[in-house]
Amino acid sequence: MNGDMSMFLWLGLMVAALTAVASAYCLLVSRNLIRLLIALELLIKAVTFLIALGGYVTNQMALAQSFIITLIVIEVVVIAVAAGIVIGAHGHNGSLDVRKLQNLKG
């Protein structure tokens, strides 16, 4: 691996790590349901970037692309279901605050 390739790898790993740390922080600290969905999206995008980077480094881009397409499909389903839950929670509580969900009975 030459110097340019290792610099590209380190830069990619740093971007993915910073994105993952920022989204994990937002997941842990935020109380707004929409912000939680955005943080989940960012975390999935960091994983997608790592898969693409791994496929590029190992010279197996076809396998990485198939994993990325599968991940995107799963991501869309999860976000669609979560958005439906957020809309239902907002309609029931009138707020997007996570702390208001503790009052639900089921």
Q: Which domains does the chain have, with CATH numbers?
A: 3-103 (1.10.287.3510)
pTM of the model: 0.88
Lowest mean pLDDT among 58-62, 81-85, 102-106: 102-106
pLDDT reading at 4 higher than 80 = no
Distance of alpha carbon 49 from alpha carbon 26, whole angstroms: 19
Cβ pair 23, 35 in contact under 8 A: no
Distance CA(33)–CA(91), nearest Å, equals 13
For 46, other C-beta atoms within 10 Å of its C-beta total 20
pLDDT tens per residue across span 45-66 = 999 999 999 999 999 999 999 9
Percent of the chain past pLDDT 90, that is, above it, reads: 79
20 neighbors 41 (Cβ within 8 angstroms)? no
